[in-house]
Amino acid sequence: MYVLFFAERVQKTRSSCACYQQNKQQEGCEILEKRKKYRLFLYVLLICSMTALIICWLFLIWEKIPRAIHIRAGVRQDLDLNVPVSGKLYKAPSDTADGDEAIPVTGMSSVAEKKEPKSLSVDLADSLTLYAEDIDTYTMDLKLFGLIPFKSVNVQVINDKTLIPAGVPIGIYVKTEGILVIATGDFTGVDGQLKEPVGHLLKEGDYILKADGKEVEGKAAFMRQIEESNGEEMVLTILREDQEFDLKVKPEENQDGQYKLGIWIRDNAQGVGTLTYIDENNSFGALGHGINDMDTATLMNLRNGSLYQTEIVSITKGENGTPGELTGVIDYKESNKMGTIEANTVEGIFGELNDSAAAHITSQAMPIGLKQEVETGPAQILCSVGGEPKLYDIKITAIHLDHDNINRGIELQVTDRELLETTGGIVQGMSGSPILQDGKIIGAVTHVLVQDPTRGFGIFIENMLLQ
């Protein structure tokens, strides 16, 4: 009996050992599986991190190479981008059999190939010197590491130019080409029902150019035309995103017996800014950005506009989170008119200054600084915050040669104590203040960072000139 009991105990012990070994083996397998998954996760994380770093690196290289490079005719232009790309510099062939000559590049040899325009090999990993005698346009096709197609750059040879930096405050008045629709809505009709005559036809940002075939003269005239329609159908000519078309609308009568379309419209804009420059012909550039409608953010189509003398009467100091402002008084009488605005573009407003206004700008003419010549570090802005224009110290903190937003190619910070004490930094009304560096005019102030009014952005002067 004892022997049988002992045998059963041995058998149970062996079973327990087998189960224990099996459990241990299973736990070991689970640990190995977890380790494999963990290693796989680390590998995936490493690959994702490396991919993200490579993408960021490629983006930085892409941004360091501008889409367009301008060089002065007859002047050797150094280009030191220090990026690992190389390629060919050429221009499209003319009607001649041999094609045009490529831009001479110091230290490089010309490579001529049959059936193709003459070209030069370029390597932007090293310093490159470009030189061209005549005004012309070339193309630079670049490859990453000389192998992977990367970017095509337009190279334009331009005349050397000098500008007179202005920095004077200006009053601006512009009238739109047509009438800008800033919103649509409904109203209560004579029957007590809500009416929405153009709710699904017009949208904000549309321009009404004509009504029943006649050009719209202005907001008041258009509203009068609607009232006099007596509810008859009207044909409006609309401009929407560069597309022009006609549509039919039917005014409805409101509770006051007036005929309405249920739209809010605007036909003009006014404000205060800064004149950036004038040239030898009294042509001017100002603001460094376009005049946009305050409600729709649409660039306003210009019919006509004028610059007026303005006097800065008060300054609202900028603070973190709250932008400051220069407040000016504008008297819209003919004797105060400084000039006419001929273009409202993304790069600024442009036109002609009259002789009297031009005579009051006493700054010395300066050469322009091209974007590849701009450097981080000390610079100045010329502006007026009450009284005559004055130079104030700034620091250029970053340069974006190929920024998607052309009005933000230059990052800057105000360092001048006097300006900081007076305005807190950059304030509304300083847009257009010329940026000067190393005896050249290189750009204009365009924006302020709301969270830090000491910091802001500027546009390269060449972008304003070549708009």
395 within 8 A of 412, measured Cβ to Cβ: yes
Helix-then-strand count for the chain, H and E: 5, 31
Residue 141 lies in a domain: yes
Whether 454 has a pLDDT exceeding 50, the answer reads yes
Residue 27 lies in a domain: no
* pLDDT reported for residue 9: 54
**Angstrom distance (rounded) from CA 411 to CA 20:** 69
- Please state the φ and ψ torsions of residue 342, each to the nearest 5 degrees: -110, -15
* pLDDT reported for residue 17: 54
Q: How many residues does the chain have?
A: 467
Residue 396 lies in a domain: yes
Both 398 and 442 in one domain: the answer is yes
Both 367 and 451 in one domain: the answer is yes
Q: Are strands 302-316 and 337-345 parallel, antiparallel or unpaired?
A: antiparallel
Both 294 and 423 in one domain: the answer is yes
Q: What is the CATH number of the domain that holds 304?
A: 2.40.10.120
Both 254 and 298 in one domain: the answer is no
Both 235 and 341 in one domain: the answer is no
pLDDT digit string (tens) for 55-106? 888 888 888 888 888 888 888 888 888 889 998 888 765 544 444 455 555 4
Both 95 and 74 in one domain: the answer is yes
Angle at alpha carbon of residue 367, lines to 153 and 65, rounded to 5°: 20
Both 417 and 291 in one domain: the answer is yes
* pLDDT reported for residue 102: 55
Total domains in the fold of the chain: 3
Both 213 and 299 in one domain: the answer is no
Of 242, 261, 280, which marks where a domain is finished? Answer: 261
Which region, left, alpha or beta, applies to residue 20 given φ > 0 means left and ψ of -120 to 50 means alpha?
alpha
Q: State which residues form the domain around 200.
A: 186-261
Both 296 and 402 in one domain: the answer is yes
Of 261, 281, 302, which marks where a domain is finished? Answer: 261
Token pair listed for 413? 């910070």
Q: Indicate whether this model's pTM tops 0.85.
A: no
* pLDDT reported for residue 81: 85
Any idea what DSSP says for residue 396? E
Residue 22 lies in a domain: no
Q: What is the CATH number of the domain that holds 244?
A: 2.30.42.10
Residue 335 lies in a domain: yes
Residue 147 vs residue 9, higher pLDDT: 147
**Angstrom distance (rounded) from CA 93 to CA 1:** 112
Q: What is the CATH number of the domain that holds 117?
A: 2.60.40
pLDDT digit string (tens) for 326-377? 888 888 888 899 999 999 999 999 999 999 999 999 899 999 999 999 999 9
Band (pLDDT 50/70/90 cuts) for residue 125 is: confident
pLDDT digit string (tens) for 271-325? 999 999 999 999 999 999 999 888 888 888 888 899 999 988 888 998 888 888 9
Residue 181 lies in a domain: no
pLDDT digit string (tens) for 402-423? 877 889 999 999 999 999 999 9
Of 230, 261, 292, which marks where a domain is finished? Answer: 261
Both 236 and 279 in one domain: the answer is no
Both 298 and 422 in one domain: the answer is yes
Whether 31 has a pLDDT exceeding 80, the answer reads no
Both 193 and 112 in one domain: the answer is no
Residue 276 lies in a domain: yes
Residue 40 lies in a domain: no
